[in-house]
Structure 1
Amino acid sequence: MSFMERHQVALYLASMAVGVACAGLSGWSLVSEQLVPYTLGALLWTNFALMPLVGMSVGQHKRLARTVVLVATLGTPILVTPLVSLFIPEGGPVALAAVIVLLAPCVDYVVVFTCIAGGEYRGLLAATPYLLGAQIISVPVWTSIYAYIGILDIGVMGEIFPLPAESYLSLAPLIVPLVAVYLAQRWSTRSPQCQQAYERVRTISDAAMIPLMCLLLALMCSAYTPAVLNQAQLIPRLAGLYLTYAILAGGTAWCLSKVMSRPERVSVTFSAVTRNALIIYPVVALCAQRLAHNGNPEASLMGATVLTQTLTELLIMVAMTAIFRVRAKTGNAEAL
Structure 2
Amino acid sequence: MAWLERRQIGLYLAAIAAGGSVGVVVPGTSLLEVAIYPVLGLLLYATFLGVPFASVGAALRDVRFLLAVLVVNFVFVPAVAFGLSRFVAGEPALLFGVLLVLLTPCIDYVIVFSGLAGGASDRLLAAAPLLMVTQVLLLPVYLWLILGRDGVAAVDVGPFVEAFVVLIVIPLAAAAGTQALAARYRGGRRLQAGVLGAMVPLMMATLFVVVASQAAAVRSQAAQLVILLPLYAGYLLLATALGWFVGTSFGLDVASRRAVVFSGATRNSLVVLPLALALPPELALAPVVVVTQTLVELIGMVVLVRLVPALVPHAVRERPGT
When residues 202 and 223 of structure 1 are mapped into structure 2, their CA distance, relative to the original with a 3 A threshold, is same
- 1:238 is aligned to 2:241: no
Larger mean Cα displacement after TM superposition, 76-85 or 224-233: 76-85
CA distance in 1, matches of 2:127, 2:96: 21
Match of 2:300 in 1: 313
When residues 192 and 252 of structure 1 are mapped into structure 2, their CA distance, relative to the original with a 3 A threshold, is closer
For 2:261, the aligned partner's letter is F
Match of 1:270 in 2: 261
1:53-88 Cα offsets, whole Å, 9 max, x none, are 577323699366235423344334343343343233
Q: Please report how far the alpha carbon of residue 24 of structure 1 lies from its aligned counterpart in structure 2 after TM superposition.
A: 3.1
Q: Please report how far the alpha carbon of residue 15 of structure 1 lies from its aligned counterpart in structure 2 after TM superposition.
A: 0.6
When residues 91 and 206 of structure 1 are mapped into structure 2, their CA distance, relative to the original with a 3 A threshold, is farther
When residues 197 and 86 of structure 1 are mapped into structure 2, their CA distance, relative to the original with a 3 A threshold, is farther
CA distance in 2, matches of 1:190, 1:216: 27
Q: How does 1:210-249 map to 2 (within 5 A)?
A: 210-249=200-239
Q: 2:272 aligns with which of 275, 280, 284?
A: 284
CA distance in 1, matches of 2:200, 2:180: 30
CA distance in 2, matches of 1:125, 1:322: 14
Aligned length: 313
When residues 180 and 59 of structure 1 are mapped into structure 2, their CA distance, relative to the original with a 3 A threshold, is closer
Q: Please report how far the alpha carbon of residue 300 of structure 1 lies from its aligned counterpart in structure 2 after TM superposition.
A: 4.1
Q: Would you say the 8 A contact 2:273–2:290 is kept in 1?
A: yes
1:142-198 Cα offsets, whole Å, 9 max, x none, are 321222112x4643542454x7xxx75x96565135333444466568788547665
Gaps of 5+ in 1: 116-120, 332-336
When residues 44 and 125 of structure 1 are mapped into structure 2, their CA distance, relative to the original with a 3 A threshold, is closer
Q: Please report how far the alpha carbon of residue 20 of structure 1 lies from its aligned counterpart in structure 2 after TM superposition.
A: 1.4
Match of 1:179 in 2: 169
Q: Would you say the 8 A contact 1:72–1:104 is kept in 2?
A: no
CA distance in 1, matches of 2:28, 2:255: 43
1:224-253 Cα offsets, whole Å, 9 max, x none, are 112212222444432222222222232233
When residues 330 and 196 of structure 1 are mapped into structure 2, their CA distance, relative to the original with a 3 A threshold, is same
- 1:110 is aligned to 2:113: yes
Q: Please report how far the alpha carbon of residue 14 of structure 1 lies from its aligned counterpart in structure 2 after TM superposition.
A: 0.6
Match of 1:155 in 2: 150
Gaps of 5+ in 2: 318-322
Question: TM-score, normalized by length of structure 1?
Answer: 0.74
Identity within the alignment, %: 18
Match of 1:69 in 2: 69
CA distance in 2, matches of 1:318, 1:275: 12
Note the aligned Cα RMSD (angstroms): 3.8
Q: 2:198 aligns with which of 203, 208, 216?
A: 208
Larger mean Cα displacement after TM superposition, 98-107 or 139-148: 98-107
Match of 2:137 in 1: 141
Q: Would you say the 8 A contact 1:22–1:222 is kept in 2?
A: yes
CA distance in 1, matches of 2:213, 2:132: 26
The runs of at least 4 consecutive aligned structure 1 residues that moved more than 6 Å come to 188-192, 327-331
CA distance in 1, matches of 2:122, 2:305: 24
Question: TM-score, normalized by length of structure 2?
Answer: 0.77
